[in-house]
Structure 1
Amino acid sequence: MITRRRFALSLSALALSPLSSYVHAAARKIPALLRPPVAREEAVTDTLWGKSIVDPYRWMEQKPDTDEFVSYLKAQGAYARQMLDRLPGRRVVEASVTRFTAAVTDVAIRQISSTYIIFARRTPGQQTYKIYARPHAGGADILLIDPEAGAQGGAPRRVTGLLMSPDSKHLAYTIDKGGDEIRELRVLTLDGGKDVLITLQNGLPASWLPDSSGFFYSRLRDGAVKGKVDYSFDTATWLHRMNTEAAQDTMALRWSDGPAMGQTEREMPMVLTSTVSDWALGAIYSNGEWPAYGMVARSSELAQGKPNWIAVFGKDDVAVHAVTAGDYVYVLAKGKAERGEVFKVSISDPDKTKREVVVAQGEYVIDSLSLAKDGLYIHELRGQVGALRRYSFATGKVEDVALPLSGAVWDVNCNARLEGAWFGMDGLTWFARIMNTGADLKAKDIGLTPKAPFDTSPFLTTRLEIKARDGVKVPIEILHKNNTKLNGKNPVLIEAYGSYGIILDPGFQGSKLAFLDQGGVIVYAHVRGGGEKGESWHLAGQKANKPNTWRDAIDVAEALIKDGWTSRGKIALWGTSAGGIMVGRAITERPDLFAVAIGEVGAFNTLRFELTSNGPGNDEEFGTVKKEDEFNGLMEMDAYHHVLPNVSYPATLLMTGANDIRVEPWQVAKMAARMQKNHDPKRPVLMRVDFDSGHFSTTRKNAIAKNVDVFSFIFEHTRG
């Protein structure tokens, strides 16, 4: 967060910087703290649109972090660690989570090159994903990148992006440390293993020149300061040529280049070339996600620094993806078709009135497209399961790929010079498989993932629609054991998100089976603000409509009680990132309904979010305090300012990564401080801090530890 795309702290680590009496206490391993640490209050009052907003913890927002705030984080982490470690059912939960996660091999396709299938794999015992290449012609897998190789301690390293050259001889890739998302961009030459640093300025590979002589990448401007609101402003795309020094790289595209279509310095420009077109796409992304503006220039002219940009689509098209083939740009857009359509733009005549729709809007939401030699492969969401279709260049027909199972379809990858598509499939209660379909449209398992090391047959998925208070039907998926009884006695964990038009599509997660194995039930609620039913579903949970998001979650909880799945006092609600709005406002509006709240890296203080490094651009989703109507919407969705004294809120576990740049830790810390003023040992508020992670867990160990803490906490407070 807060972007569109898609998480234990050791006491010994606390002893390294004894900045408060709480830290000294943790280092000496004295008995657990009886109360949470108390934050200093220093009220700041803002008057916005005639309303006085009092903020007692504004001091936590200072950048860079002060010693006082770091001390407070460590004290909170120590207190949470002591309380979580004392939970009586923890060992049983830990054994179950370990059983369902430690022995699993995770695999995901990352790219299809002319020679290789590039994939990430994490085998049992490995903490991070390694990157491999499997030759199309057969033969042993080739290890390309081991992020921990040569590491001498310190924060965990992980590969965050990669891009193989068209000739399959070079790999541009990025690594971050401790989940800080400050990407180090490097390029590896496969023959000989030469590995060269390109930039430390949060680089991101975009595309290679068609002849593999160089590649385009984005990076921050010189002097960008993490934590400042203008941190990502004036990010530009650069061209690096192989066998030259990075200092000789040339700027290829800035936000201000080309036709003036409304783009500003807060947008990110990317150059996307194609091996089957002489034209490169200049995509201008809003807050780093989805192309808001698109233009094209000849690749040869761009490489010479003399592009003549031609506009091909704009913000009103609500583009989701775009690819270039021959003299055409194919755009998946939702501007005129809320569930998505694909239109073709002729570069020689890009007039909007002459666009040709090649895949019309249908009954289902179109989520993505990928370019292959034989056509466009299109992912659809059919109800709550995935489907894959192909628009054929030869026939102009749109046909289904025959899938062997019903479940999620993800990471669809194609190569413009090869037929077919490679993709992952899984179900909420069955293990992932990597599939391939050729031009015959018959998908098969390519054997990249081993069979599950445990039996998943005792677990089921039930799909329903719940009627919200205004009559709208909200889709839900219920994960449970096959012998679960509707007797109102089941601990239920509801997870929801509801922002940016993102489709909540979690897929198989072994750790969740551990929760079911211990008698719990998990519910994924597809609340408004997501994209499950198209762009109107998204807009119904945006800005002034945001209350629909958390009220849908509330209505789902009420329906589960009515149908016997659970009862009041046995419901937990989990929201992550932008989902912090959902969970924070659900528990502040209906504190009586939920027994437990889990707020992971959550945006709880939305009135202040636009002033963070990741804030610019998010006004389009949530609003800005600079406009009265949008200020009122932000105030309504701000959970921090809805916490009241002397109210009994659910037992709450708030979580943050100390290196989080998307939702800075003070967003979580301020929420914790305000909720903890109502200290109730029976309904504690804990703030779990992971100093080795950012917005996401960086290692398998960290992810397991997080889930053990969450599930133990939920069971402790729903089985009374």
Structure 2
Amino acid sequence: MFHRLRTDPATDQLILQNGHSSFPIGEYEYPGIQTNPGSDIAVAIIFNGVQRELTAYAAPVADVLDGTPAWRKVCDRADNIASLAVRGDDLYLLANTSAVRGKVLKTSARAPGLTRAGTVMPMGALVIEALSGACDGIYVTTMDGGIQRLKRIAPDGSVADVRLPYDGSIVYAYSDTASDGILVSLTGWVQPSGIWAVDARTLTATDTGITPKPPIDLTPYIATRLFATAKDGVKIPVSIVARRDPQRDPKRPAIVESYGAYQYGTSPAFRARNLAFLDAGGICVVAGVRGGGEYGREWHDGGKGPTKPNTWRDLIAACEALTDAGWTRPASLAMAIIYLTKQSSETSTGAWTSPRPASPTPTPLASI
């Protein structure tokens, strides 16, 4: 629906609806419209539940408002486009075809075509997750083993890193093509959520102070990361949150969480409810096991279907790495499996309550 401020909602104009638009919208799909200052092109995006890949169409804004849009298809789900941003007459696309960690393409917003699109940011070591357009360029959210980072593609095509205040998670990114910079909602394992403003000149972030901080002294707590070695030699990121004590105590109780499904990466998030457990001497651990999205599509496929055993083997390796590093001991380990699918949960729980695969030795874990 299109609504003009200070007008009667009864006069709102229907823009997209299943059965109303000039292109199909499925029963479980839902549409959205993206318009941007400085561009007279509207982009219709069709989402399908939790599926990452988009279907998108483009048409002039004036034609959309006149009710006569000639929508041109930008991409279909088979094209593996996961995010897009419009800046002026340019359309930027996050493509995962032939680039399992993603690459950024640029094509004409007026006459979009994937076959004519040029690469402005090739696939690199980090996973490209989302695009956001601003006056000074396109901001790119990336994933590094659960930690999210930010880059900017300038109008001249140069790519630069944004210096964020700590290793954390970008919960939301807010920008528009009429303004320089970007606002990001950032949180960490021991940093409550806050809204930070990125300066387009220095590419540094400053806390806006918009989000009130809880009246809690967080200086006694630390977050660190180690890498466990899985059975097949793959390095598994393991995040540890604990009190800033001078020495490690192997008798500490440890709660180890993992996900490992839907290409969802377990990124840092502040959890005030864990502080009492930390004060009592415990440690909270998150293992970025395969099946999730910590390192993109390859990581997801490495713990999916026939490779699903890697998910719990990675978790076993994470627990062993914790004990080897002196953070805890097998008798003090407990584990919380966080899955969305009944099948995955039953499979992993079954593996953990049984002897370790290919070994008569029980798994290094006190409880589930």
Q: Distance in 1 between matches of 2:319 and 2:222?
A: 20
The match for 2:78 is: 316
Please state how far the C-alpha of 1:510 moved relative to its aligned partner.
1.5
Q: Do 1:573 and 1:583's aligned partners in 2 also have CA atoms closer than 8 Å?
A: no
The match for 2:204 is: 442
Say which SS state the counterpart of residue 369 (structure 1) adopts: strand
Of residues 402, 413, 429, the one that matches 2:174 is 413
Q: How many residues align?
A: 358
Report 1 or 2 for greater relative contact order, CA contacts < 8 Å, sequence distance ≥ 6: 1
- Per-residue displacement from partner, 1:7-50 (whole Å, max 9, x unpaired)? xxxxxxxxxxxxxxxxxxxxxxxxxxxxxxxxxxxxxxxxxxxx
* Pair 1:455–1:540, CA change in 2 (3 A): same
Alignment of 1:209-248 (within 5 A): 213=4, 242-245=7-10
Q: Distance in 1 between matches of 2:64 and 2:187?
A: 41
Alignment of 1:392-471 (within 5 A): 392-393=154-155, 395-440=156-201, 441-471=203-233
- Per-residue displacement from partner, 1:554-613 (whole Å, max 9, x unpaired)? 33223333443333342222233427655543331121534333xxxxxxxxxxxxxxxx
* Pair 1:249–1:347, CA change in 2 (3 A): closer
Q: Alignment RMSD, CA only? A: 2.8
* Pair 1:472–1:449, CA change in 2 (3 A): same
Q: Do 1:575 and 1:582's aligned partners in 2 also have CA atoms closer than 8 Å?
A: no
The match for 2:255 is: 493
Say which SS state the counterpart of residue 56 (structure 2) adopts: strand
- Per-residue displacement from partner, 1:451-475 (whole Å, max 9, x unpaired)? 5523222222221111111221111
Say which SS state the counterpart of residue 195 (structure 2) adopts: strand
* Pair 1:405–1:565, CA change in 2 (3 A): closer
- Structure 1 residue 595 corresponds to structure 2 residue 328: no
Say which SS state the counterpart of residue 348 (structure 2) adopts: helix
Alignment of 1:520-559 (within 5 A): 520-559=282-321
Q: Distance in 1 between matches of 2:339 and 2:61?
A: 38
Q: Which runs of 5+ in 1 are unaligned?
A: 1-207, 215-240, 598-720
- Per-residue displacement from partner, 1:482-540 (whole Å, max 9, x unpaired)? 22755532211111112222221142222222221111111111111222112111222
- Per-residue displacement from partner, 1:138-194 (whole Å, max 9, x unpaired)? xxxxxxxxxxxxxxxxxxxxxxxxxxxxxxxxxxxxxxxxxxxxxxxxxxxxxxxxx
Please state how far the C-alpha of 1:420 moved relative to its aligned partner.
0.8
Of residues 277, 293, 296, the one that matches 1:515 is 277
Alignment of 1:6-405 (within 5 A): 213=4, 242-245=7-10, 250=14, 252-254=16-18, 258=22, 264-287=26-49, 289-393=51-155, 395-405=156-166
Q: Distance in 2 between matches of 1:269 and 1:409?
A: 24
Q: Which runs of 4+ in 1 moved over 6 A?
A: none
* Pair 1:469–1:542, CA change in 2 (3 A): same
Q: Distance in 2 between matches of 1:242 and 1:412?
A: 30
Q: Distance in 2 between matches of 1:500 and 1:304?
A: 40
Please state how far the C-alpha of 1:417 moved relative to its aligned partner.
1.1
TM-score by length of 1: 0.46
Please state how far the C-alpha of 1:374 moved relative to its aligned partner.
1.3
Q: Do 2:147 and 2:268's aligned partners in 1 also have CA atoms closer than 8 Å?
A: no
Q: Do 1:476 and 1:525's aligned partners in 2 also have CA atoms closer than 8 Å?
A: yes
Please state how far the C-alpha of 1:383 moved relative to its aligned partner.
4.6
Paired AA for residue 192 in structure 2 = F
Please state how far the C-alpha of 1:427 moved relative to its aligned partner.
2.5
* Pair 1:524–1:582, CA change in 2 (3 A): farther
Say which SS state the counterpart of residue 101 (structure 2) adopts: coil
Q: Do 1:499 and 1:542's aligned partners in 2 also have CA atoms closer than 8 Å?
A: yes
* Pair 1:451–1:265, CA change in 2 (3 A): closer
* Pair 1:434–1:251, CA change in 2 (3 A): closer
Paired AA for residue 566 in structure 1 = T
Say which SS state the counterpart of residue 112 (structure 2) adopts: coil
Please state how far the C-alpha of 1:378 moved relative to its aligned partner.
1.4
TM-score by length of 2: 0.86
Q: Distance in 2 between matches of 1:581 and 1:480?
A: 32
Q: Distance in 2 between matches of 1:259 and 1:547?
A: 42
Q: Distance in 2 between matches of 1:450 and 1:267?
A: 37
Please state how far the C-alpha of 1:421 moved relative to its aligned partner.
0.7
Please state how far the C-alpha of 1:348 moved relative to its aligned partner.
4.3
Q: Do 1:569 and 1:595's aligned partners in 2 also have CA atoms closer than 8 Å?
A: yes
Say which SS state the counterpart of residue 322 (structure 1) adopts: strand
Paired AA for residue 238 in structure 2 = I
Q: Distance in 2 between matches of 1:435 and 1:251?
A: 34
Please state how far the C-alpha of 1:259 moved relative to its aligned partner.
5.9
* Pair 1:562–1:442, CA change in 2 (3 A): closer
